[in-house]
Structure 1
Amino acid sequence: MQMGIPPSRVFKLNVDGAFSSNGSMAGIGAIVRDSKGEVIMSAAKKELSVMIVVEVEALAILRGLQFCIHLGIHNLVIESDSLLVVKEFNKKGSLKDTFDNVIREAKELMTQFGTCEVQHVNRSCNEVAHSLVKFGLSVQNISLWWGAYPDVISNILWSDSSTL
């Protein structure tokens, strides 16, 4: 279920991060949609050097921002289901958490956008990114789809579009 469609000329990036069931590896999922809900890009990536859950959630935002910069996007709304990470991104001042380098790097990238904000959504509104991250745990390194998406999320996207 989608949180909502962004205004015209604003793109929405949904991200999620997770660990495998045995905790041996982490992955991220990201999907970018335009104001019509059309998929611009989707990605699933394995991350090898992540230590804690909030770090992989923050890393998902960083990777999503890196993808969006390459797409030439200027206005972006980022949605994550990690309330702690969203609060860290929206904090003013210095960071002192174990994952502060990831957030600092992502905040630096955010300055390259005309507008860029990070919002919290419930897991039920982030199912596409969550399915992508589960898929990401099984990829060699990274799988990218430009203007497309893998079959594993097609039912969720169809359900999203029917609720608009």
Structure 2
Amino acid sequence: MRIPLPPSIAEVEALACRRGVQFAVEIGLHVVMFESDSLIVIQALKEGSSGHSVFNNLIEDSLFQAAKLHCYDFCHVKRSCNTVADALAKKAKSGPELQVWLEDLPGDIAPLAYLDVH
């Protein structure tokens, strides 16, 4: 999903996380692990507050939405372990406003996802 004029990297990460949580709720998932390479966002989600008024509302909204799930966790991953998310972010820049794949992945993303799980 494209985010027009992102204010800061942390806000973009917080926006992406909130959208990921909303999406998980929308499609009826019950047990979800959310990953991000943004340590500041993951720490804020784990602590329940960012201490940064700029994106604290996004953190609070993510946690409010996540409470609808049966079980969830927010985990920090190294940037090198986040190649699928990076490729999807680049793809979003040039694609339609919103793209969703529930079963099949695009041909350029599938090999990265396969390497990520193996």
Give the number of equivalent residue pairs.
118
Instruction: Report the equivalent of 2:75.
Output: 119
Code of the aligned partner of 1:77? M
Residue 36 of structure 2 aligns with which residue? 80
What's the offset of the Cα at 1:111? 0.6
Q: Taking structure 1 as reference, are residues 93 and 104 closer, same or farther at Cα in structure 2, changes over 3 Å only?
A: closer
Deviation per CA, 1:88-117, whole angstroms, max 9, x where unpaired?
Answer: 111145744311111111111011011111
Q: How far apart are the structure 2 equivalents of 1:82 and 1:93?
A: 15
Which protein has greater RCO, CA pairs closer than 8 Å, 6+ apart? 1
Residue 61 of structure 2 is aligned with which of 105, 118, 128? 105
Q: Identical aligned pairs, as a percentage?
A: 31
User: What RMSD in Å do the two structures reach over aligned CA positions?
Assistant: 1.6
Q: What's the TM-score once normalised by structure 1's chain length? A: 0.66
Would the alpha carbon gap of residues 70 and 152 (structure 1) be closer, same or farther in structure 2, given more than 3 Å must change?
A: same
Greater strand fraction, Structure 1 or Structure 2:
1
For 1:3-42, list aligned pairs within 5 A: none
* TM-score, scaled to structure 2: 0.90
Q: Which portions of structure 1, spanning 4 or more consecutive aligned residues, are displaced by more than 3 angstroms?
A: 92-96
Counterpart amino acid of 1:108?
A: F
Are residues 1:134 and 2:90 paired?
Answer: yes
Alignment deviations for residues 20-52 of structure 1 (CA, whole Å, 9 cap, x no partner): xxxxxxxxxxxxxxxxxxxxxxxxx10115311
Match of 2:3 among 28, 47, 50: 47
More helix by share: 2
